[in-house]
A = this chain, B = another copy of it.
């Protein structure tokens, strides 16, 4: 089953996806919603079989994988809601206006159409939620784009099994033939990404591979958008006030966030900037009594983590706070317990090269800053774009009414400049799937920070605006018709040159 997909099979996949595009684009949002809900139902029905395969292939726990299936189903259902709501179409109607300042204005109406076939490269660390039927796939299918998933080599059998469940559900729900395909192998994925019939790419994975694929997409004869979610070190800033107020709570939250899923999450806090001399390291040590050992996803990730961990521990001035470790079993699998280290800001600065790069696994660095540190200036000094940035404040500081309020505001602004999500008094792991979620950030967190890869706003990545000028009703897409048969939100411009606001100060 999970062999590298080769031509002519690969050519048939792309040809079928391209052939399916017009029929899939013509399905109603409600029919696509029903089909997506059917996939969610089918995944939940097949949960125990799928989780069994997932445990074997990924080493993730039953509890984690079961809840991930639930999350995956919830994601699919949320996109069904998005489709039925119709706001995602951003339907705009500008009625004709004979008195427009620039001459007779025609009737112009604008909605969004699916891009066409899309390839989604799935991730290793979320074998359901960012894999075959994960968030990107849900957004692509919801948009009405035929989907080709490139399976991750870390869970090929689970990918095949999930694909079979999904394909069966989509067909039973009446979706056109050819709207969903699974392929295996990196070369196959690259060949599809280069194919002129493919109109966009999605990816979750490393900076190295993401950059490679983004360059391929950008340098095609006809470039296409490529939405890659890559690396992030997710800086955390913890004030002296917050530590004085609740060192134990912060210590235990930090440990849970760093060690959950063996630290193999793109939102794992890689750094926490804390005041030098604070009680937090001791509180972390105290909270670390019973840390379980977790298997890392695959031997390559384990070896890479072991190397990063050695390099960090060997860096001048780095002191272990929790001296976890990694051991390898007879299959080459690495089993890790969390490692937390501390380093002064000066030493961190001197060893920037060795320390700043993401360590994918259960490791985090406490950077101890002197009292006079300008924390807002640390962000651009040490990291580029990140998915998240977090601030822990005391209850007093949260009022914005303490002597350090200006400094805190500057830090929040600096975080907002460099991340997609700014958190307060919480932890960046565990990304809520909601309409307002933003999972993205400036390079290298993502290849394209104008959109999100989690949350229902993700659907916009696979749509393209098209305007219709003076179209007879018979030729208007449903969302743009005056009788609004789909009951979508329509934004109707007032007649006249504009709302005339721009003329107030004439």
Q: Interface SS of chain A: helix, strand, loop or mixed? A: mixed
Name 19 interchain pairs, CB-CB below 8 A, sorted by A: A74-B497, A74-B498, A94-B434, A102-B432, A102-B433, A106-B432, A110-B437, A215-B218, A218-B219, A222-B442, A400-B475, A401-B474, A408-B475, A422-B466, A424-B475, A438-B465, A438-B467, A442-B464, A451-B465
Complex Cα spacing A34 to B473, Å: 39
Contact of A37 among B108, B222, B505 (CB under 8 A): B505
A500 to chain B, nearest CB (A): 8
Whether the pair A448, B493 counts as a contact (CB closer than 8 A) is: no
Contact of A109 among B26, B77, B413, B436 (CB under 8 A): B436
A348 to chain B, nearest CB (A): 22
Residues of A at the B interface (CB closer than 8 Å) are 22, 26, 33-34, 36-38, 40-41, 67, 70-71, 74, 76-78, 80-81, 84-85, 87, 92-94, 100-103, 105-106, 108-110, 113, 116, 214-215, 218-219, 222-225, 384-385, 393, 398-401, 405, 408-409, 412-413, 416-417, 419-426, 430, 432-438, 440, 442-444, 447-452, 457, 460-461, 463-475, 491, 493, 497-506
For the A-B complex with A84-B501, A218-B218, A424-B472 known, give 13 more contacts whose Cβ atoms are closer than 8 Å. A22-B417, A41-B506, A74-B102, A81-B500, A102-B433, A113-B416, A215-B218, A219-B219, A398-B472, A401-B474, A421-B469, A442-B464, A450-B465
Whether the pair A422, B491 counts as a contact (CB closer than 8 A) is: no
Q: With contacts A218-B219, A438-B467, A465-B420 known, is A76 near B502, CB below 8 A? A: yes
Complex Cα spacing A252 to B330, Å: 82
Whether the pair A412, B475 counts as a contact (CB closer than 8 A) is: yes
Residues of B within 8 A of A80 (CB): 501-502
Residues of B within 8 A of A469 (CB): 421-424, 426
Residues of B within 8 A of A416 (CB): 113, 466
Whether the pair B223, A85 counts as a contact (CB closer than 8 A) is: no
Whether the pair B94, A423 counts as a contact (CB closer than 8 A) is: no
Q: With contacts A400-B474, A432-B108 known, is A450 near B464, CB below 8 A? A: yes
User: Copy number of this protein in the oligomer?
Assistant: 2
Whether the pair B77, A443 counts as a contact (CB closer than 8 A) is: no
Whether the pair B432, A100 counts as a contact (CB closer than 8 A) is: yes
Complex Cα spacing A37 to B501, Å: 9
Q: With contacts A103-B430, A424-B470 known, is A435 near B465, CB below 8 A? A: no
Whether the pair A471, B435 counts as a contact (CB closer than 8 A) is: no
Residues of B within 8 A of A401 (CB): 474
Residues of B within 8 A of A447 (CB): 223
Contact of A426 among B36, B452, B463, B470 (CB under 8 A): B470
Residues of B within 8 A of A105 (CB): 432, 434
Smallest Cβ-Cβ distance to A96: which chain B residue: B432
Contact of A498 among B71, B77, B87, B448 (CB under 8 A): B77
Whether the pair A422, B471 counts as a contact (CB closer than 8 A) is: yes
Residues of B within 8 A of A472 (CB): 393, 398-400, 424
Complex Cα spacing A106 to B427, Å: 11
A57 to chain B, nearest CB (A): 23
A99 to chain B, nearest CB (A): 13
A304 to chain B, nearest CB (A): 23
Whether the pair A467, B421 counts as a contact (CB closer than 8 A) is: yes
Smallest Cβ-Cβ distance to A397: which chain B residue: B472
Complex Cα spacing A214 to B85, Å: 36
A138 to chain B, nearest CB (A): 11
